């Protein structure tokens, strides 16, 4: 209707835009999609085999969930950004901002196996951690395809509103940290959010989770 009124004024059909002061409705806040912990484990364990590509795929999935990195940060990571001995990685985020985040033991083990046993076999061209079959840096599209294939193998949705996407592991990382008692400010730093307001949407997810647990577990949750 607002567009129609603007068109009518522009075409000289009416003198004034009657919709000028009408504010559009606020869109409902969409909560991030997060996997349950057991679903993440199924996803991470779905990649089988010890070939170079299987080791790469397993390392990529562990890296995404173990660091909360955006897909662009993962494919943009260089070998020199990794400090597996110290258990950290430097991620290059939006707006040229960098941050150092810890890397857990499972991700370190998967990365070490990939770097030692697989990456040299891919005839690396350039500093990127994750390489394609020709030795060049892995693209975002290819990383998405790896995740989609793993999700299908794990029996997780790959179509529709609940489909696993590259951001799903990032959402799951944040939600599981908060569920485990992490402070929202710490999660903000780990995710590289400029404002804590962006991070606080995950607290809504955990509140919903608490309600679900309460509704199913408390004997007097329902009248």
**Three-state SS sequence of the chain:** CHHHHHHHHHCCCCCCCCCCCCCCCCCCCCCCCCCCHHHHHHHHCCCCCCCHHHHHHHHHHHHHHHHCCCHHHHHCCEHHHEECCCCEEEEECHHHCEEEEECCHHHHHHHHHHHHHCHHHHCCCCCECCECCCCCECCHHHHHHHHHHHHHHCCCCCCCCCCCCCCHHHHHHHHHHHHCCCCHHHHHHHHCCCCHHHHCHHHHHHHHHHHHHHHHHCCCCCC
Tell me the pLDDT of the chain averaged across its residues.
88
Tell me, yes or no, whether 10 lies in a domain: no
Tell me, yes or no, whether 148 lies in a domain: yes
pLDDT band at 136, cuts 50/70/90? Answer: very high
Tell me, yes or no, whether 20 lies in a domain: no
pLDDT digits (tens, 9 = 90+) for 181-214: 888 888 898 888 877 777 777 776 666 666 776 6
Q: Pick the residue with more confidence: 160 or 109?
A: 109
Distances (CA, A) of 207 to 202, 211, 212: 9, 6, 9
For 18-34, what is the mean pLDDT?
Answer: 74
Q: Is the confidence at residue 102, as pLDDT, over 70?
A: yes
Give backbone dihedrals phi and psi of 191, rounded to 5 degrees, phi first.
-80, -20
- Over the range 97-125, which residues count as b (16 or more CB within 10 Å of their CB) and which as e? eebebebeeebbebbebbbeebbeebeee
How far is residue 191's CA from residue 199's CA, in Å, rounded to a whole number? 8
Number of residues that this document lists for the chain: 223
Tell me, yes or no, whether 140 lies in a domain: yes
> What is the domain range of residue 133?
37-217
Q: Is the confidence at residue 147, as pLDDT, over 90?
A: yes
Catalytic residue among 56, 58, 65, 70: 70
For 84-94, what is the mean pLDDT?
Answer: 93
Catalytic residue among 42, 140, 167, 209: 167
Here the CATH number for the domain that contains residue 157 is 1.10.443.10
Q: Please report the pLDDT score of residue 187 as a whole number.
A: 87
Q: Please report the pLDDT score of residue 34 as a whole number.
A: 87
Tell me, yes or no, whether 14 lies in a domain: no
Tell me, yes or no, whether 7 lies in a domain: no
Provide the number of structural domains found in the chain: 1
Tell me, yes or no, whether 65 lies in a domain: yes
Work out the percent of the chain whose per-residue pLDDT is above 90.
55
Catalytic residue check, 149 = no
Catalytic residue among 56, 108, 176, 193: 193
Catalytic residue check, 193 = yes
Catalytic residue check, 171 = no
DSSP lists the bridge partners of residue 20 as none
For 19-33, what is the mean pLDDT?
Answer: 72
Q: Please report the pLDDT score of residue 121 as a whole number.
A: 93
Q: Which of 119-128, 131-140, 160-169 has the highest mean pLDDT?
A: 131-140
Q: Is the confidence at residue 11, as pLDDT, over 80?
A: yes
Q: Is the confidence at residue 223, as pLDDT, over 60?
A: no
Tokens read off for 26:
């606020």
Nearest to 91 by CA among 197, 193, 195: 193
Catalytic residue check, 173 = no
Catalytic residue among 48, 94, 117, 211: 94
Tell me, yes or no, whether 17 lies in a domain: no
Q: Is the confidence at residue 28, as pLDDT, over 70?
A: no
Q: Please report the pLDDT score of residue 30 as a whole number.
A: 64
Q: Pick the residue with more confidence: 111 or 33?
A: 111
How far is residue 53's CA from residue 142's CA, in Å, rounded to a whole number? 12
pLDDT digits (tens, 9 = 90+) for 56-85: 999 999 999 999 999 999 999 999 999 999
């Amino acid at each position: 209707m607002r567009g129609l009124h603007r068109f009518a004024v522009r075409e000289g059909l009416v003198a004034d835009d009657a919709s000028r002061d009408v504010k559009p409705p606020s869109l409902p806040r969409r909560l991030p999609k997060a996997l349950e912990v057991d679903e993440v484990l199924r996803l991470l364990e779905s990649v089988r085999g010890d070939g170079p590509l299987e080791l790469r795929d397993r390392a990529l999935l562990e890296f995404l969930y173990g660091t909360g990195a955006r897909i662009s940060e993962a494919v943009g990571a260089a070998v020199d950004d990794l400090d597996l001995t110290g258990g950290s990685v430097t991620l290059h985020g939006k707006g040229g901002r960098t941050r150092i985040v810890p890397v857990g033991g499972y991700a370190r083990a998967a990365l070490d196996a990939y770097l030692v046993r697989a990456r040299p076999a891919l005839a690396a061209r350039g500093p990127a951690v994750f390489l394609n079959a020709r030795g060049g840096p892995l693209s975002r599209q290819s990383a998405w395809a790896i995740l989609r294939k793993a999700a299908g193998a794990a029996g997780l949705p790959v179509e529709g509103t609940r489909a696993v996407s590259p951001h799903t592991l990032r959402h799951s990382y944040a939600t599981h940290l908060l569920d485990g008692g992490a402070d929202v400010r710490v999660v903000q730093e780990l995710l590289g959010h400029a404002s804590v307001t962006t991070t606080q949407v995950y607290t809504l997810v955990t509140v919903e989770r608490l309600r679900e647990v309460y509704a199913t577990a408390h004997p007097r949750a329902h009248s």
